[in-house]
Structure 1
Amino acid sequence: MIEMQDVYKKYPNGITAANGLNIHIKQGEFIYVVGPSGAGKSTFIKMMYREEKASSGTVLVNGVNLSKLKNREVPFFRRNIGVVFQDFKLLPTLTVFENVAFALEVIEQRPKDIKRRVMDVLALVGLKHKVRMLPSELSGGEQQRVSIARSIVNKPKLIIADEPTGNLDPDTSWEIMHLLEEINLKGTTIVMATHNKEIVNTIKHRVVAIESGRIVRDEQRGDYGYEG
């Protein structure tokens, strides 16, 4: 599913954000990515959907070698990946329905198929009754649910979540986690960067800790391992 072999990422300012990464993630796993701020977590997950390109080494996702992927091929590669952001990244002038449908319109799905699929995923995330609302009319938790609906509408094999509960209150954070758990149980691989100690220590999954661009810990059913 995902494999990194001796991966380095050095930015033009001289910062090395990935320093010899090696990891294998199997289809259907749920991975927490933890570590101090500035440790390289975001670079680690961004390389998985080619938002960042490794300086050297091999990054394989769904059998695709991202080091050899041409820029024009990246949008096609991303069709099998859903990304959930901390700040939602919804289109403010589009309704809930339109935000989710947009992900299918860009790959030219038939309107009838789009409507059926969008309503299915909005039912899954509990927002079928808010299809005509704009993002500004929703709570933070509801906006994150729309973001998750958009990320799964293409039935991706992989969801990458970058601090998906970072801007949410504790109760809403647990709701979002239970939703991600449900999606994972259907076979979707989830890689989630997080600073939420309570979630990591309560809902047990594989924990990958990154410090100074290196993987310093990789444990099945691990703990968060940091203060805070």
Structure 2
Amino acid sequence: MIEMQKVTKKYSNGIIAVNDLNINIKHGEFLYVVGPSGAGKSTFIKMMYREEKPTTGNIIVNGIDLSKLKNKQVPYLRRNIGVVFQDFKLLPTLTVFENVAFALEVIEQRPAEIKKLVMEVLSLVGLKHKVRMLPTELSGGEQQRVSIARSIVNKPKLVIADEPTGNLDPETSWEIMSLLEEINLQGTTIIMATHNREIVNTIKHRVVAIENGRIVRDEQRGEYGYEG
């Protein structure tokens, strides 16, 4: 599913965000990425969907060698990758339905199929009754549910979630985690960067800890391992 071999990312300012990193992630896994702020977690996950490119090393995602991928091919890579952001990144002038449908319109899906798929996924996230609302009319938790719906409407093999509970209250965070668990049980690989100690320690999955751009711990059913 995902393989990184001797991956290093050095930015133009000299900062080495990821340093000689090696990892294998299998199809269907649920992986937490933890570590201090500035450790390289965001760079690590952004390289998986080619938001960032490694300085050296190889990254293979869904059988595609990203080092050989031309820029014009990146949108096709991302058709099989859903991304969930901490700040939702919803389009404020579009309704709930339109925000989710947009992910299908850009790949030129047929209108009838778009309606069917959007309603299916909004039913899954519990927002079928709010299709006509704008993001500003929703709570933070509801906005994140829309973000998750948008990320999975194309039935991707991989969902990457960057601090998906970071802006949410504890109760809503657990609801979002329940939703991600359900998606994972359907066979989708989930990679989630998080600072939420309680979630990691309660809902056990593989834990990869990154410090100073290196993997310092990789444990099945691991603990968060940091204070806070």
Question: Normalising to structure 1: TM-score of the pair?
Answer: 1.00
User: 1:41 aligned to 2:35?
Assistant: no
Distance 1:224 1:66 in 2: 30
Distance 1:18 1:69 in 2: 20
Residues 204-223 of structure 1 correspond to what in structure 2 (within 5 A)? 204-223=204-223
SS in 2 for 1:8: strand
User: 1:58 aligned to 2:58?
Assistant: yes
Cα offset for 1:67?
1.0
> Stretches of 4+ moved more than 3 A in 1?
none
SS in 1 for 2:161: strand
Q: Which residue of 1 aligns with 2:78?
A: 78
Q: Which residue of 1 aligns with 2:122?
A: 122
| Residue identity in the other structure for 1:113 | E
| Residue identity in the other structure for 1:142 | E
Cα offset for 1:204?
0.1
Distance 1:164 1:214 in 2: 23
| Residue identity in the other structure for 1:151 | S
* CA deviation profile, 1:123-156 (whole Å, cap 9, x unmatched): 0000000000000000000000000000000000
Cα offset for 1:164?
0.1
User: 1:15 aligned to 2:29?
Assistant: no
Cα offset for 1:183?
0.1
SS in 2 for 1:198: helix
| Residue identity in the other structure for 2:151 | S
Q: Flag structure 1 segments of 5+ consecutive residues without an equivalent.
A: none
SS in 2 for 1:88: coil
SS in 2 for 1:136: helix
Cα offset for 1:110?
0.6
Q: Which residue of 1 aligns with 2:197?
A: 197
Distance 1:26 1:158 in 2: 10
Distance 2:216 2:82 in 1: 27
Distance 1:216 1:142 in 2: 35
| Residue identity in the other structure for 1:30 | F
SS in 1 for 2:12: coil
* CA deviation profile, 1:23-64 (whole Å, cap 9, x unmatched): 000000000000000000000000000000000000000000
Distance 2:227 2:71 in 1: 40
| Residue identity in the other structure for 1:210 | I
Cα offset for 1:68?
1.1
SS in 1 for 2:17: strand
User: 1:26 aligned to 2:26?
Assistant: yes
Residues 165-204 of structure 1 correspond to what in structure 2 (within 5 A)? 165-204=165-204
Distance 1:153 1:39 in 2: 31
SS in 1 for 2:172: helix
Distance 1:108 1:12 in 2: 37
Distance 2:108 2:10 in 1: 37
Distance 1:67 1:142 in 2: 37
Distance 2:109 2:36 in 1: 41
When the two chains are superposed, the root-mean-square deviation of aligned CA atoms in Å is: 0.3
Distance 1:70 1:51 in 2: 13
- Percent identity among equivalent residues? 84
Q: Flag structure 2 segments of 5+ consecutive residues without an equivalent.
A: none
